[in-house]
Amino acid sequence: MNADKLKPEERCASTFKRNFEGRQGRGENTFSSPAMAAAAGISGTLDDVRKYRN
């Protein structure tokens, strides 16, 4: 595990299958598919993955 941690006001689109309390910091984790995490990486927000299908 690396030292990257979320600050309380940050959000993360995570593809990890389990949530351990505090593992990724104190921010909000959103569990997502790999496609959803990729869409979030492209747009910079939690976005609708269907916009990127084509």
* pLDDT recorded at residue 32: 86
Residue 6 φ then ψ, to 5°: -80, 140
Range of the domain at 36: 30-54
Whether 41 is covered by a domain: the verdict is yes
* pLDDT recorded at residue 4: 73
Instruction: Indicate the pTM of the whole model.
Output: 0.62
Q: CA geometry: angle at 12 spanning 9 and 42, to 5°?
A: 115
Q: Which residues pair with 13 in a beta bridge?
A: 30
Per-residue confidence of the chain (54 residues) as pLDDT tens digits? 566 777 888 777 778 776 666 666 666 777 888 998 888 888 888 888 888 887
Question: How many separate domains does the chain show?
Answer: 1
* pLDDT recorded at residue 1: 53
Whether 13 is covered by a domain: the verdict is no
Closest CA to 40 of 22, 18, 17, 14: 14
